[in-house]
Structure 1
Amino acid sequence: MSGTALSDVLQQVMQRVGVGAQTLSKLTGVPRTAIDNWRDGTVRRPRHWRPLLRIAGALLLSRDETDALLAAAGHPRLDTLDSTLPLDDPDRSHLARWAVQRRRSATVRHELRAPAPDFVGRIDAVKRIVSLLSELGGGGGVVGIRGMGGIGKTELALVAANELGESFPDARLIVNLRGVSGAPLSPEQAMRQVIHAFASDEPLEDGLEALQRRYCSVLSGRRVLILADDAADAAQVSPLLTPSGSALLVTSRQRFAIAGMTTVDLGELSEAEAVRLLETSCERLTVEEAQLIASACGHLPLALRISAGLLTNDPTLAVSEHLAALSDHRRRQAHLRDPDDERLDVTASLAFSQARLDSASQAVFRQLSVFVGDFDTALAEAVVRVPGGADTTVVLRLLLRRSLIGYEPARGRWRLHDLVRDLARSAAEDAGDWVPAMWRYAEAGVRMAEAIRNGYLSGGDAMPASLAMFDLERPHLDAGRRWLGAHVGDERADRLLVADAVAIDSYSFLRHDFHNELQPMVEQALAAARRLGDQAAEAQLLNQIGHLALQASRLPEAAAHFERWLAMPRPTGDRLQEMRALNNLSVAYVQLGQPRRAITVSERQLDLARADGNRRLEAMALTNLARTLGFVGEPVIARDHLELALTMVREDGERFGECLILDNLSTVHHMLDEPAHAVDLAQRAYRIAASLGDRERMAEASATLSQALVPVEPVAGADPAGGTGPSGADEAAAVGERALAIAREVGARRTEAKALKALGRAYAAAGRSELARRMFEEALAIRTETGDENGAADCAWLLGANLLPTDRERALHLMRRAVAHWTGIEHARVALHAARLAELDGPAPGSGH
């Protein structure tokens, strides 16, 4: 390379070794600006040869390569420097490496550079590779490291290979196979490189078989490790298999098999490893900033190194500005590249793999960008259109072989790395594939929601399985819904919004937040139904709006809504929606303190359900009727209705209904002073709620259990501690605290009030009067605020009983309020309450009157 400019020589060796200016600066201590100036020709030569020898040493250049580098800069060669420098000159230390090399046998070569100084983690992978290659050193063999572009395959291979000096003492060589480039190295070229490492002047034949014979002959009797970096396929690597004593370490983006090859599949760094890499490379990052950047980079080592380099080398680039760029998929692609090193470019690195795909596979790859999370084959088949009608699964497998998508066999799920998705989406938008694919994605989400509903309504084991499916696929359901929401007014979007809201009606209350998620969804669908003139859907969605008001404890609003709904003209034969409206209206009436109206409504619902043969709604009507009868003091009749309803839902395998009925049965048996049975029923209700993942029902059942653990008062308002030992009260308090925490977590105000009331009874039974009073006060405030007259009366009586020793006037006022309510609803035990109040209304103890 004599006569060649320094910029050309330096650029060539840096590209061959695969080191950029930033990494080389860290390895050598030579300023990056100096390296850049020499590489681009801005400065033609350094003033001294010392930095060039530091670079040559870091890159592990041979003696000839180092001489060429020195000559290109106009400096003396190694022999000249060795002969002219005095023996005591300190600069002779820079020549030591090549002086030793000259004295060695020409057959001993170590060409591996040091790994990047910021290499972190991968401890298990390094151990496995070192172990495998150590074992192979005695018998020949091959280990492959596979993974997507930028994942760190080469650095991992260098770390492992540099630890294997004792296992391969004769040579550790590296051959860049350039597998993803436009001109991959042929097997013949690769073998020539290895042979010339030991016999540099030997003339070689051109044929593959002749070269293989010489290749094996050169390696025979030696223990050599060959790092074949960036392999294209099995055809390129197979001829490089070594004889006994040596081994081959292969890195590749492609998944291929060679007889006897053991593979290590490389994934992203863990969050801790990614953060450590950033902190190692960029000192100005806080832990929180490093975590955010690591997440935005998808824990991909190449992206992390680029981010750290940009922030280190540009003090004007604020971390917040960098994070903002990473938050947008198009800006992220443009941002994740080093302007001073063309090899440090995430998009360009990943695009090498994409470019090798055929046109049909590229089309599939582009469409996969719509998926916001991992997905199964069925969803891919519903969304992706394969040109030429090829099998979607076949193309997915090809993309897996190219490391453009991943696959989890245990879950049967495919996935794209976030940065690969960015690449695919940009390509999809440019090709016009994005919008059609998103419409198919949204429609597939609606069909999935319908399938979940059908499974849920079929009951039995299908119910929890359907909810598990919802949990798994929710990212896709939400993404499709967001797309439709962005296109309201478009007839296609409106029809899908309506279908989606109707589909999720049966199970949405188990998974969605009522106020922040369901309310906007149903209101949006209702507007769409009205635009479409779909009266049947409008009627169902109006019913859902009322149900949401009921769940939010907006009781007067809910009751008024159902009353209007039942009075309005509806499509003929809309009996199911009518029965559901009656069901919800009955619940509202009970909580509003209008039990007689609730009984009338429940009886009407029961008649309709029986006439229609709908056992699910018949069980609902019986449950509502029983709950109302319990409120008016008829626990025996309530128990009989609930046991009949329980039989029905169990026959249908309706687990949610079973949970609800068991909870109500526990309350009834508590009223009947059957504590053991009440506790058992509440525990069973809780287990079912937990299996369904229904947090509100779990809170409800916990509150019911807490209530069951404290015996009912013989007369409402008597000492609730009677017959309860400290351990029972403590257990009731612990369960009540669990109920309260869950209720507050999910924002269930009615259940929160129930948990507070149960906690108050538990604290009172344990003799903790002040805590009990606070719980009753809070429960009463919620019951009053939400218009729950029945609940408010119960809490008023309990709070009054608690206040008698300290604030008799307020206590009696509260208890009178409760008796007035129970009198108005004709509670079966109102006479006992009234008698107790009359007794308390007499002269205060110790008054002397």
Structure 2
Amino acid sequence: MEELRADIDRTGLDTLAGRKAPRCRVLLIAGRPGSGRTALAERLVGQLADDYPDGVLRARLTGADGEPVPTERTARALLAGLGAPVPAGAGEDELTEALRTALLGRRTLLLLDDAAGAEQVDPLLPDESGCLVVAVSRGPLTGVPDVRPCTLGGLDTAAAVELLERYAGPTRITCDPVAAKAVVEECGGQPAALVLVGGWLAAHPKTTVVDAAKRLRELPPADGHESAGRPLARAFWLAYEALPASAARILRLLALAPAGPADAHTTSALAGCSVAAAESALEDFAARGLLRAEPAGPYLGPQYRVPGCLASMLRALLETQERPAEVELARARMLERTVRQLHSCRASTETDDPLTRRRLAELPRPLRFPTPQAAEEWLRGRLPALLAAARLAVRDGRLDTLARRLVSALTRALTAHLGAEEAGPELYGLHQLVLDVAQRCEMPLEKAAALLNLGDLDARAGRTRTALGRYREALDSAREASDPYATSRSLESIAASHQELGDWQRAADWYRRALELRLTRGEPADEARLYGRLGAVHTYAGEWGEALRDWRAAAATYRRLRDLPGHARALGEIARVQEYAGRPQEALRTCLEAVEQARQAGDVRLEAAVRLRLADTLERLGDPPAAGLHRGEAERLLAAGEPTGSAGTPGSAAGPGAAGGDGPGISPARAPGVPRPQPGPHGG
């Protein structure tokens, strides 16, 4: 430990050459799984944490399935840990660059555990010499400059006996130190093997240490393992074969748990047992050294993780001792339980609804959350495992209906608790999963919905051209499905993208196509909204005649619908265009009519906004006293009136007409924010 700490301040190659270190210092703790490398790294991080006031970030670079975690996912998690904005749908290069930028000027300590190689570590290294990275890997990180390695073998005899005593208890170890040394020799001094043997001794209080050493020698050689890994394999088998059949089955099925710690609900669903039985089994496994306990929050409950050095052996046991049908059934039970938990999590935000309260009351008590805050804490704490469960369900390919339900429930829970903006990065990945399922199962409507949602997130992140491509694909899928709603939604989104790009002609053309579809279907509310969109586009282009025609059509449709606020807004837009076109007297008359419509609607904020526009028009006409009267009346209305949900400025076109859900279904069309138009070169 002292040598590791000394390496932090030791002169590097750049300093010797007279250059400032361009990147952070990297300490490497290398060793086989089970050598205690992660425990040593955590101990080092605990000692150094006070020296890095900007905090400690942790990331595991190998998943529970033994596959390397994509760098994109790791960078996203580290950015979230820093509280930095995470752009939805960003690629690996953009995310790693954002991570390096976020770490500039900080003193942060990063622990990168179980790295498969330098290609995983190098993109995550900060360009900040005040940061420190502690990497844990099996071998050297060739390609990472100026890395300081520390290679672990086995523990020395004294330390190994002390570790064995900690788990087995002091009495038997003290009474038979020779046998304890024999156990250490059989375990090769490997900490993980010693923990398992210590747990076995603790579970068998009448067994001597000599019996443990003898049993280890009698176990058959662990074929298929390297010589250095055989002591751990024998110790694992010693602990595993001592389990009752039911407990051994639960342990095997934990290999199906998605990435992240497993809790009692996950274990209960996998094994088909009660939550209480699952809790008891998890506690027993932890006492035997087969699981590691994780920190838990007030509402999260105890969490346990399979040590990485044991994961491959559990997977091998699952493949050889469980029938494929049983494995699939266990996975389906786990996903179904997760869906129900997510429904309960989302419903906790809607307790004002009597129907929702009744449905919550019908759920088993362990699935309910006492407060929305408890549900949100559970969602945040279990989010890595929930996302991993969704990815596994989609990748499996045999549970597509359940996978879609899981993705939908997770999407709705994230939106309800975190909001669309904060949950954007996770939602992007979930919609991509829906797209994968839809393409595999040849479901054009679901494909269109996923493409529309992905396009919305791309557009929100400023990738308008990427969004435009997705909307065009969605239009093809919607037409293939013969779904008019998805088709009109796609047409409007394509138009909105062209509007965002400033291509007024194409925007008007696509809005007109969407309008024709609404006219064919006889949907007057959407017709009025699309007339308004067309009017706005023509206004931006400076085509006053076209703009007036469309806004008048919108106003007439709102009037037929008896929509007084919509009619008032449309009249306000007509007045705006008339003023741009050099018709101030007409604009004044239209503004007065808009004020009357807003007054009849009882919308004080809308009336105040129209009066402010009227005041601007009067000032341009050279009547400051009248303008002052209307401006004062607007201020009085704003001060006296309560804000209403439908309030808005007359300058805004009618809102999105497609009422979409927050799941992977079709969501509302996006209305890009375009600056206030100025008079253009084209007359009306």
- Asked if TM exceeds 0.5, the reply is no
TM bucket, shorter chain? 0.3 to 0.5
Q: Which is higher, the Rg of structure 1 or of structure 2?
A: 1
Q: Greater RCO between the two (CA within 8 Å, min separation 6)?
A: 2
